[in-house]
């Protein structure tokens, strides 16, 4: 199967996340994509600790991540509004939608986007998250090399190039993706965490 070229949403999300990290992710072509989420949306887990406004800054470029549950949406549904702004004041905003999953004590967001109107579609970005002891939100992306190696070894189904080389696009079932994550050493599975600081309202 011919792999799909990087999509605009893929490149934009990679840029939003990559500029927050001084090394590593900035060199990654795109966050790992999956055709399926870790679990169905109707099994999503509510996590109010994730809701709120988060902030990060790298190379004098700030970005705000506003995570919320949309009005009338089911429990565990999230939207993420990402606003980035340069030193000259010029910026833009994009909206992503997804739902939350738990796996062996780890928390994940299954995110699609950017969202146009009320519809979200396309592949999922599976992002591990946790609230650190100091209150920061830490995000960890799946490592491209680990996913590609798993596809090469047939531990996961995924897209390959015309030459048969594995890509970082997973096409496997949620059950097999969950089993792979549960069986893989986290140090090999995840990139270094991206830290977002909470924005607290003044009393």
- 8 A C-beta contact, residue 91 and residue 101: no
Beta strands 166-170; 33-34: pairing state:
parallel
Give tens-digit pLDDT for 35-80: 999 999 999 989 999 999 998 876 567 888 999 999 989 999 999 9
Whole-angstrom Cα distance, residue 153 to residue 1? 17
User: Which residue shows structure tokens 């939608």?
Assistant: 97
* List of residues 6+ apart from 42 with CB closer than 8 A: 74
Looking at residue 90, its pLDDT comes to 83
Phi, psi for residue 27 in degrees, rounded to 5 = -95, -10
Whole-angstrom Cα distance, residue 92 to residue 47? 27
Q: How many residues does the chain have?
A: 203
Half-sphere exposure in the Cβ direction for 193 (13 Å, CA): 13
Looking at residue 199, its pLDDT comes to 93
Whole-angstrom Cα distance, residue 95 to residue 60? 22
SS3 of the chain: helix, strand, coil, percent, to 5:
20, 35, 40
* 3-class secondary-structure state, position 136: coil
pTM over 0.85: no
- 8 A C-beta contact, residue 97 and residue 111: yes
Enter the tokens of residue 192. Answer: 């270094």
Give tens-digit pLDDT for 7-41: 434 444 544 554 443 223 333 446 889 999 999 99
Query: Mean pLDDT, to the nearest integer, of 79-83?
Result: 88
Q: Which of 139, 58, 61 is nearest to 96 (CA)?
A: 139
């Amino acid at each position: 199967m011919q792999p799909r070229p990087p999509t605009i949403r893929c490149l934009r999300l990679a840029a939003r996340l990559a500029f927050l990290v001084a090394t590593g992710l900035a060199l990654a072509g795109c966050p790992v994509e999956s055709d399926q989420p870790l679990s169905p949306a109707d099994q999503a887990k509510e996590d109010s600790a994730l809701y709120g406004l988060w902030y990060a800054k790298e190379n004098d470029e700030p970005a705000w991540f506003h995570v919320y549950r949309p009005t009338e949406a089911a429990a565990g549904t999230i939207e993420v509004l990402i606003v980035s702004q340069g030193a000259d004041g010029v910026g833009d905003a994009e909206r992503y939608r997804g739902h939350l999953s738990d796996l062996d004590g780890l928390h994940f967001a299954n995110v699609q986007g950017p969202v146009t109107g009320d519809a979200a579609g396309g592949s999922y970005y599976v992002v591990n998250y946790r609230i650190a002891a100091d209150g920061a939100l830490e995000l960890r992306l799946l490592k491209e090399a680990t996913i590609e190696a798993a596809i090469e070894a047939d531990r996961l189904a995924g897209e390959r190039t015309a030459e048969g080389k594995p890509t970082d696009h997973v096409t496997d079932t949620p059950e097999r993706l969950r089993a792979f994550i549960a069986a893989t050493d986290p140090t090999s599975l995840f990139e270094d965490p991206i830290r977002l600081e909470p924005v607290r309202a003044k009393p």
